Structure 1
Amino acid sequence: MGVSLERLRDSWRTLMGDATILEPPEEEPIDIVSGEALDLVLRVGELLLASGEATERVNESMLSLAVAYELPRCEVSVTFTVISVSVHPGRGALPVTGARAIRRRNPAYWRLVALHSLIQEASIGLLDVEEAHDRLRRIKRSLPPYGAPYPPWLGVIALGLIASSAGVLVGGGLLVAGTAFVATVLGDRAAAMLGRRGIAEFFQLAVAASIGTASAVLVIAAGAPANASTIVTGAVVALLPGRPLVASIQDGITGDLVSAGARLLEVFFIVAAIVSGLGLTVYAAVHLGVPIDVRDLPAAPVTLRPVAVLAAAAVSMTFAVALAVPRRVLPAAALGGALIWVVYVFARGLGAAPLLAAAVGAVIVGLLGHLLARRRQLPPLPYIVPAIAPLLPGTAVYRGMIQLNDGAASEGVLTLIGGISVALALGAGVNLGGELVRAFQRVGVGGSGRGARPAARRTRGY
């Protein structure tokens, strides 16, 4: 009753002019979502992921662009095959969402460098949206001044030189280097032909591995078993998945478990394809009476002879060319390969197991590579991925397959597990070096720094 009388009194005062009618406050305007900015964030993320960048750094780069171009309340989701961006204008308006699928990957590290330069300039306000779109178009189409540093044929030659250098590293000579080069180039060209016909990449890699192994079998049949084993070792090293291995370990360490699992599955299928090609050829050779003996297989001499150190540097440099790193990174890649070999040899000389020696070398290379990348304001992958190439376990894969096909199944499985463990130690080691750098840096490329990883503070180990 009291409330009704109060309302009647207020109404009477309003009619008599004793009270002022208050206008309802205006609603705050809805934030405007720029379609061009949203499209730019999606396209940059797609190209980064397709070019071989790790998931966490793709996420950081996309968020940096979203902040630079004022996309309100932006959420980014990056997985191995799909990226999505969702922007919320606010005031109950429907979110604006876009997604892109990554159907083809082309590891080109020169493109990563160009994209990170674009992100840095955009983050500090030096590029508007139209200028950023124009630069992105030039990077994607390799238009001047953003173009591939090497002609396509040099990438094919680099694969052959990886095999040649790896063959020399495990004790081969000029004959081994030349034969491994020819076998690897032939395998790559055969795989490229299958790719143009739409054959799956698994079978392309299997064919490339089988061609390298077949050349070794021919050399064994000609009476030179020691030379043959070094040939196939070099051919296998040229096919091993060093790049996706490093990225998969990094994704797992940083908490992107979906992408880490997918990348590890990719590594598994690549190794399975190589093992399949090796296994079929070795199986056929053994049953045709070719005298393949495990005792004839090479073991990289743990020595600091100039030939070995130069071969390790050559493996890393040619691996860098195959990954299309910028030319100014090539000297650092060569030095990284020589350094990881020297550290590995010293650690083995002190009694360390191969797994521990490889991990120690990878940590040092990862630390120095991340520091150099930070100093030059470049992404770290062009520095660290080529450097681990000399220690990739090509010999272990070959030895394990021969043991499996020669009736020593348990020994073969253990050898393959040991080789995979060394590869995982290399990936974990280079990422540990990066974590040590992150622990003391304040900001990095794409906004990465110790304050840019909130997921690291979510849990306490349980």
Structure 2
Amino acid sequence: MSRIVRETDPPTGSLPRITESSRKLDAAYSARVGEVLDLAGSIGAILMASGMPATATMENVTAITVAYGLERCEVDVINTTIHVSAYRGPTAAPASTLHIVQSRSMDFSRLAAVDRLITRIRAGELSPSTARDELDAITTAPHPYKRWIATLAWGALAFATAGTLGASLLACLVSALSAMTIDRVNRQLNKHGLPFFFQYAVGGAIATAPPLVLYWLSPKLGLDFEPTVAIAAGLVVLLAGLSLVGSVGDVITGAPVTAAARFFELVMMTAATISGVALVLHLAGQFGAPFVAISGYAPPALAEVPARVAFGAASAAAYALACYAERTSAVAAAFGGAAGTVVFLLAQGAGLGAVVASFAAAVPIGLVGRLMERRNLAPPLVVSIAGIVPLLPGLALLHGIYAILNDQHAVGFASVLGAMAIGTALAAGVTLGEWSSFKVRKRRLQERKLSQQRTVGSDEPTPFVDPAHAVDRALKRQS
């Protein structure tokens, strides 16, 4: 009877066994431990500041310690800190380091340089001291181009986003001017230390005021101007800077603490943007501005697909340039934006809802990101963040704000929640696309290994090392 009910297989969630380190802890090894931990923690802080998910940051930090021969390291990553500790046996005190994520800013050129540095470290090409010197050079290097080019890129992003939504040429130009004004004003406010919450509120007001004023004056000027899409494009410019992919990616991959912090920050910055938009809309109504009919979504027309795909690619590339991406990264982001826009328009044309269509469109963006990584063109995070920019729900968010201000609370809150659902679907689709590409690559590498072993012979198999799984193998050896 006991044989029938007794389990014979090991538990699926077994704990690792703590064993004494097999490496002799000489003076040279002990001196290198501190240097390696400091290097790994510094790189992890840069990755977190760039919006990378916590689990991906943890894997990169662990890979660096493994590459330099630290047999057992524990890495803890949360939204603001990186803690790395090296186990040095039962009789020696562990070595540890703590790094603070000082500021968060999208700098894709720095992210790409750090990504290349990590690749060289994992390949065993750099000593810890050389890698530290290169990291210092990366963090102190100037941007690849001047600030005014980034400002023009923000304007190009708003112009292309408005074009993706089917706006007129005048509305696209107004959106571009508003976005460039937001960039310059918020840059000055940032120099004075104004918290980001108020910067986003100011940005929402600037994105709303010029289109409303022009709409108010359009009958006198003899113009036919629709402000809705112009305002929505400005909102997309503001929402593009939030860590949407990182926060949802943390939820999916099992980092709830960091996910909660990032998501709360996302909600607060979105609320700040909404407050700026709502203030301008309320003041416009008080001063007798004409009523604006705002729809929640812009239904696509299949005849407009080529133009909208071109605008989607331009939006992604412009956002990448606004975040100082390299040229190859901007091209990779354009491919991601084009792929996502094509799938989104076709999905909506087939009758799918906005949330499902957004999820379907984000999956190829994640696939393109991994493909570009294998071609050494751009880190996948660059393509993921920039690729979803044309699909951000600025119009749905604006519709919800306007409905709430006009006492249509049920419709308004439903539209705002729908916008948040679209954003979550985009980030989830990107994560699924990256995971699928990773699994396909893993299978192909395994098939390549088997084919090489068959070619050489079973007695003398060809050594094959898969860098993507070095961390997993190291953890298995430790347990």
Distance 1:323 1:74 in 2: 33
User: After superposition, where does 1:184-199 map in structure 2 within 5 Å?
Assistant: 184-199=179-194
> Counterparts of 1:131 and 1:95 in 2: how far apart (Å)?
25
% identical aligned pairs: 32
Aligned twin of 2:9: none
Q: Distance in 2 between matches of 1:46 and 1:85?
A: 11
Name the counterpart of 1:83. Answer: 82
For residues 127 and 338 of structure 1, the distance between their equivalents in structure 2, rounded to whole angstroms, comes to: 37
> How much does 1:130 deviate?
1.6
CA shift in 2, pair 1:176/1:85, >3 Å:
same
Q: When the two structures are superposed, what TM-score results if normalisation uses the length of structure 2?
A: 0.83
More divergent stretch after superposition (132-141 vs 178-187):
178-187
Could you tell me which amino acid in structure 2 is paired with residue 159 of structure 1? Answer: W
1:32 and 2:52 matched: no
Q: For residues 193 and 59 of structure 1, do their structure 2 counterparts lie closer, same or farther at Cα, with a shift above 3 Å needed?
A: same
CA offsets, 1:410-448, max 9 Å, x none? 1111111111111111110011011112223338x9954
Cα contact 1:304–1:345 (8 A) shared by 2? no
Q: Could you say which residue in structure 2 is the equivalent of 1:418?
A: 418
Partner residue of 1:7?
A: none
For the residue of structure 1 that corresponds to 2:388, the secondary structure is helix
TM-aligned CA deviation for residue 163 of structure 1: 1.1
Q: Which moved more, 1:33-42 or 1:401-410?
A: 33-42
TM-score by length of 1: 0.86
CA distance in 2 between counterparts of 1:250 and 1:43 reads: 22
Larger Rg: 1
The answer to whether the 8 A contact 1:64-1:447 is kept is no
Q: 1:72 to 1:437 in 2, by over 3 A?
A: same
Distance in 1 of aligned mates of 2:339 and 2:333: 10
| Mapping for residues 437-448 of structure 1, pairs under 5 Å | 437-442=437-442, 447-448=467-468
Matches within 5 A, 1:150-299: 150-223=145-218, 226-241=225-240, 244-295=243-294, 299=298
CA distances 1:314-350 after superposition (whole Å, capped 9, x unpaired): 1111111122222112223223222222211211222
Cα distance, 1:197 vs. partner?
A: 1.2
Q: 2 CA distance for matches of 1:168 and 1:453?
A: 48
Unpaired runs of 5+ residues, structure 1, are 1-27, 456-462
Matched AA of 1:299: A
Correspondence 1:344-383 to 2 at 5 A = 344-376=344-376, 378-383=378-383
Q: Alpha carbon RMSD of aligned pairs, Å?
A: 2.6
Distance 1:47 1:333 in 2: 21
Distance 1:370 1:72, change over 3 A: closer
Deviation above 6 Å: which 4+ runs of structure 1? Answer: none
Aligned mates of 1:193, 1:104 — CA distance in 2: 17
Deviation of 1:254 after TM superposition, in Å, equals 1.0
For the 8 Å contact 2:359–2:429, the answer to whether it is kept is yes
Q: Determine the C-alpha separation between the residues in 1 that align with 2:39 and 2:131.
A: 8
Give the whole-Å Cα distance in 1 for the aligned partners of 2:58 and 2:430.
20
TM superposition shift of 1:361: 1.1
Measured after TM superposition, the shift of residue 304 of structure 1 is 4.4
The aligned counterpart of 1:18 is none
Deviates more, 1:306-315 or 1:37-46: 306-315
Report the count of equivalent residues: 425
The answer on whether the counterparts of 1:439 and 1:450 sit within 8 Å (CA) in structure 2 is no
TM-superposed CA distance for 1:241, in Å, is 3.8
Q: Is the 8 A contact 1:355 1:422 kept in 2?
A: yes
Q: Which whole-Å CA distance do the structure 1 matches of 2:356 and 2:166 have between them?
A: 23
* In 2: Cα distance, 1:302 partner to 1:70 partner: 57
Report SS of the residue matched to 2:97.
Answer: strand
* Distance (Å, rounded) in 2 between the aligned partners of 1:369 and 1:202: 31
Letter in 2 for 1:285: A
Which string of whole-angstrom CA distances, capped at 9 and with x for unpartnered residues, describes residues 196-232 of structure 1? 1111001001101101101122022113685211211
**Deviation at 1:296?**
7.0
Over 3 Å counting, the alpha-carbon distance change for 1:446 and 1:290 in structure 2 is farther
Native 8 Å contact 1:219 1:225 kept in 2: no
Q: 2:341 touches 2:390 (CA, 8 Å); kept in 1?
A: yes
Change (3 A) 1:333 1:269: same
Q: How far apart, CA to CA, are the structure 2 residues paired with 1:373 and 1:425?
A: 23
The answer for unaligned runs of 5 or more in structure 2 is: 1-23, 446-464
Equivalent in the alignment of 1:385? 385
Deviation of residue 172 (structure 1)?
1.9
**Residue 54 of structure 1 aligns with which residue?**
53
Which segment is superposed worse, 387-396 or 165-174? 165-174
Note closer, same or farther for the CA distance 1:385–1:407 as it changes in structure 2 (3 Å cut).
Answer: same
- Determine the structure 1 residue equivalent to 2:95: 96
Q: Secondary structure at the match of 1:77?
A: strand
Task: Name the CA distance, whole Å, in 2 between partners of 1:270 and 1:303.
Answer: 35
Q: Which amino acid aligns with 1:165?
A: A
Given that 1:57 and 1:448 are in contact with CA atoms closer than 8 Å, whether structure 2 keeps it comes out as no
In 2: Cα distance, 1:190 partner to 1:243 partner: 18
Counterpart contact for 2:388–2:426, Cα < 8 Å: yes
SS of equivalent residue, structure 1 residue 441: helix
Q: Secondary structure at the match of 1:376?
A: coil
